[in-house]
Amino acid sequence: MVTLTAPENIATDVPAADGPATTTVDLDASTVRELNQGIHDAVDGQAWTVTNPGGKHSMAVGITADIKVTIEGHAGYYAAGMHQKGDVTITGNAGVGLAENIMSGRVHVKGDASQSAAATGHGGLVVIDGNAGARCGISMKGVDIVVGGNIGHMSAFMAQAGRLVVCGDAGDALGDSIYEARIYVKGTVASLGADCVEKPLQAEHLAELTELLAAAGRTDNPADFKRYGSARNLYHFHVDNSTSY
């Protein structure tokens, strides 16, 4: 059984047939603060289920243990933010700032995600089965993002490192002011941002794309994608490029 430091009435321990017990937290009866305190006190190997999330904000943030958290429904702003370990699954949609500043681990949304998904992410994997809104992966610093549908405008703005895979279409200004991140898009791109260009899809890129798609549970053909990255013209200020900044 799981021992909680949060008030006893916030969760019910359900013994699992094989593996650890699952702690169920009903957010109709408990607060998000109590939920987050419980998972902050959790230890590796535990499993948590959140029922009746009701689109509440800041659920399952700052996880530092190797635990599994399933949110059964929709999440509001900043779900799974500052994620460091473990696995968070959201069975519905997610609001603005999903997995912001993720460091490692995995966050999986089975529906759509709003703006700024995985912004400033340093590592880990973020999977969005549906569509993602504007500014997906802005200032990404090493996170991998796989989107099953489309992404909105200004995605991967100032993306420094990591990989963004889009199995649908991309909006305007994709990869604006990009550094060394790699972008793969299967569909069409409305327009490329400053200093972002299409690049050859070579064997090494097909290999890493195959791994990323498999990690996200997808069966798309890597050969159907195009690769985009930095033209490296804006790394250093030059007066001839002043209108592009």
What tokens appear for 66 in the block?
A: 């190797």
- The band of 182, judged by pLDDT with boundaries at 50, 70 and 90, is very high
pTM (whole model) above 0.85: yes
Q: In the β-sheet with 226-230, what is the strand arrangement from edge to edge?
A: 11-14, 22-26, 47-51, 68-71, 87-90, 106-109, 125-128, 141-147, 161-166, 182-185, 226-230, 196-199
Distance CA 164, CA 208 (A): 11
Q: Which range is least confidently modeled, 174-178, 182-186, 231-235? A: 231-235
- Is residue 17 predicted with pLDDT exceeding 70? no
Averaged pLDDT, 2-24: 56
Averaged pLDDT, 148-171: 98
- Is residue 28 predicted with pLDDT exceeding 50? yes
Distance CA 114, CA 100 (A): 12
Specify the pLDDT at position 197.
Answer: 97
| pLDDT above 70: percentage of residues in the chain | 88
Q: Which range is least confidently modeled, 15-24, 118-127, 161-170, 222-231? A: 15-24
* CA dist list (Å): 144 to 52, 119, 125, 229: 29, 11, 5, 15
For 54-219, CATH number?
2.160.20.60
Burial of 84 (0-12, 13-18, 19+ CB in 10 A): middle
Q: Is-contact 151 166, C-beta < 8 A?
A: yes
- Is residue 29 predicted with pLDDT exceeding 80? yes
- Is residue 6 predicted with pLDDT exceeding 90? no
Can you give the residue ranges of every domain in the chain? Answer: 54-219
- Is residue 62 predicted with pLDDT exceeding 80? yes
What tokens appear for 183 in the block?
A: 């972008």
- The band of 210, judged by pLDDT with boundaries at 50, 70 and 90, is very high
Specify the pLDDT at position 5.
Answer: 38
- The band of 21, judged by pLDDT with boundaries at 50, 70 and 90, is confident
